[in-house]
Structure 1
């Protein structure tokens, strides 16, 4: 199929980083974006908003039974106290993986995602293939992410919406007793909180 050079995106470089830089330069030159405001946004999403926030919450859930009970019941009061709420995270539901059930999150309509806890969604989360196949054949999708579940463990798929976003609490790894919350948080990956990964094993 011949390339459509009439499409405006065809004038952008193919490398994602270069595309972003080209768009940034264009927006700044046209006076549509303030460079200082843009730097602040980048700083926020690079260091303040991201999966490290969700990992901290999961680590506390693993280590504090009262906190776990509250987060699995109604997490929003505690998330507000921790300043981990807001746009794209107004109503959160935490679902816990167990030996009986493995949870996986998808947004079948668009790409609803808990930004305050996980940052910006990865490209694959927004893809048509993931959005369709995660519902139809979740075990196959998980296998492609390197996750093979025991035969007796069921898979439950949660469909995020504009009203409700989900975060998976992965199973706590074996041999992680005695670790601090910071050490536990280091075992929690972004994918494990979407359900397309497992928590890391601690290095001993």
Structure 2
């Protein structure tokens, strides 16, 4: 039996990505140039990458839960959010000892009230408080969210299943190169006697962005009652 070499080559498994994007080419070129110039080493880059990938929103959730239970800590979180961050294990200077140009910036915690609800966005690009919330969700970086939230905030929130009465003012806080924000939502009804650990479980990443509210029994970042966008990003 003859062996069909051409047929064999046709069956060769192809890589998952046939070509890399322009941004990936730029990242590789910049990274290699920085290593070559001695700005950082390959080992330092590896350690920072691993550090960034393991960050999640749990410390931020614990910060909010502690603020719900302790008025003094809440005052600290609003007045000195970097100091409050350290209380839950987040040092904005890590892992380099001096932070990073994109992350070590002015950080502010926005406390919701019975009449004001906050939601964060970066209308220009994707600025996000990564040291305390981890990497931003993909939808946060899309033009659809960025462009529409500043113009149609209630409509966008409704697409996340969050319907707020007209009596509540919606304040959209736009992040930028020098400022990062995080939302401190209000404590939900039915959790009056809960411990800090119990409260931490219901404060999801989406609550800390402002597109959801903490609810008893909800411990994951879910999207409910979603409607299609009425205002596409290309308008």
Taking structure 2 as the reference length, what is the TM-score of the superposition? 0.67
Which structure: greater helix fraction? 1
- The equivalent residue for 1:150 is 165
Name the residue aligned to 1:173.
188
2:64 aligned residue (38, 58, 67)? 58
TM-score by length of 1: 0.77
- What per-residue deviation string (whole Å, max 9, x for no partner) do you get for residues 2-61 of structure 1? xxxxxxx97249xxxxxx9xxxxxx9xxxx99699748734x3454x1111111111111
- Write the distance in 2 (CA, Å) between the matches of 1:67 and 1:36: 35
Tell me the residue number matched to 2:137.
122
Q: Once the 2 structures are TM-superposed, how far is the Cα of residue 170 of structure 1 from its aligned partner?
A: 1.0
Query: Is the contact between residue 53 and residue 116 of structure 1 (CA under 8 Å) also seen in structure 2?
Result: no
Higher Cα radius of gyration? 2
Retained in 2: the 8 A contact 1:59–1:184? yes
- In structure 1, runs of 5+ residues without a counterpart are 1-8, 14-19, 21-26
8 Å CA contact 1:89–1:165 kept in 2: the answer is no
Listed as ranges, the matches of 1:28-67 within 5 Å are 38=46, 41-42=49-50, 44-47=51-54, 49-67=55-73
- Stretches of 4+ moved more than 4 A in 1? 32-40
Structure 2 gap ranges (5+): 1-15, 25-30, 94-99, 219-235
Which residue of structure 1 aligns with residue 198 of structure 2? 183
RMSD: 2.9
